[in-house]
Amino acid sequence: MRGNERELEELSAILLGGWSDGHAEIPYWLLRYYPRLRLSEADVMLIIHMMTFKQKEDKDFPTPEELQSRMSIPHDKVIAILQKLLLQGLLRIDETKDPLTGIHNEAYNWTPLLEQLAAIRAEEWIEERASKKLAAAVRGERKDIFSIFEREFGRPLTPMELESIAGWLDKDGHPETLILAGLKEAVFAGKIHFRYIDRILLEWQRNRITTVEQAKEHSQKFRSR
């Protein structure tokens, strides 16, 4: 028994030493965006198995039985997922004919899936670029208030934080002086983050506070209570 255990340990050490042979390449975008393609975890796991069959065993067309043997779902579920992928246009089956033997071969083609993932990433990238451009434009128009926030935070503001300040000014209609008073209140409380400042501004808005003097009076009453 001890001999078997020693042999098992030695074999494990050898396999760990050559761990790179046990790796498979999985598209990062698949793991990141599969919910946007309405794929479940079982769908993705099946896709991963099909890709690894190709990479590690050179099998272009693994059978449902082979796929099911490596998963914890029943055979009929594997069939259902394959049909779903084909119907959604994420998977294609290519047929080829060997010119010498005349034998017909089939292979799974993942190009449609990769194209849709690339389209999602491109759309997200365009949105990110537009957000950065908007943030840069807003920063240029209201440089003073942003500079004050960055000085208090001790770092450059993120595009989302810049949009928050712009929203307080344009959407919510808070005066710039009142926003800076909210920042000062957050610094005084030792809670320098945008969510806390937003709660302060919302509280002042509910109490119809529109000037810095009213804000100071309200804060003093709150602390006294």
The yes-or-no verdict on residue 173 having pLDDT over 90 is no
Q: Which residue has the higher pLDDT, 192 or 75?
A: 75
Please tell me the predicted confidence (pLDDT) of residue 69: 96
Instruction: Please report, in angstroms and rounded to a whole number, the separation of the first and last CA atoms in the chain.
Output: 74
Do 188 and 110 fall into the same domain? no
Do 112 and 170 fall into the same domain? no
- pTM for the whole structure: 0.55
Please tell me the predicted confidence (pLDDT) of residue 207: 87
Please indicate, yes or no, if residue 186 is contained in any of the structural domains: yes
Please tell me the predicted confidence (pLDDT) of residue 77: 97
Q: Indicate the residue among 77, 98, 116 that finishes a domain.
A: 116
Q: Indicate the residue among 81, 116, 151 that finishes a domain.
A: 116
Full domain range(s) for residue 165 = 142-224
Q: Which pLDDT tens digit goes with each residue over 132-166?
A: 665 555 555 556 888 888 888 888 888 888 888 98
Query: How far, in Å, are 9, 25, 53 from residue 20 at the CA level?
Result: 19, 11, 16
The yes-or-no verdict on residue 13 having pLDDT over 70 is no
d(CA 48, CA 128): 29
The yes-or-no verdict on residue 100 having pLDDT over 90 is no
Q: Report the chain's mean pLDDT, rounded to a whole number.
A: 85
Do 66 and 150 fall into the same domain? no
Copy the structure tokens of residue 149.
């926030």
d(CA 63, CA 79): 10
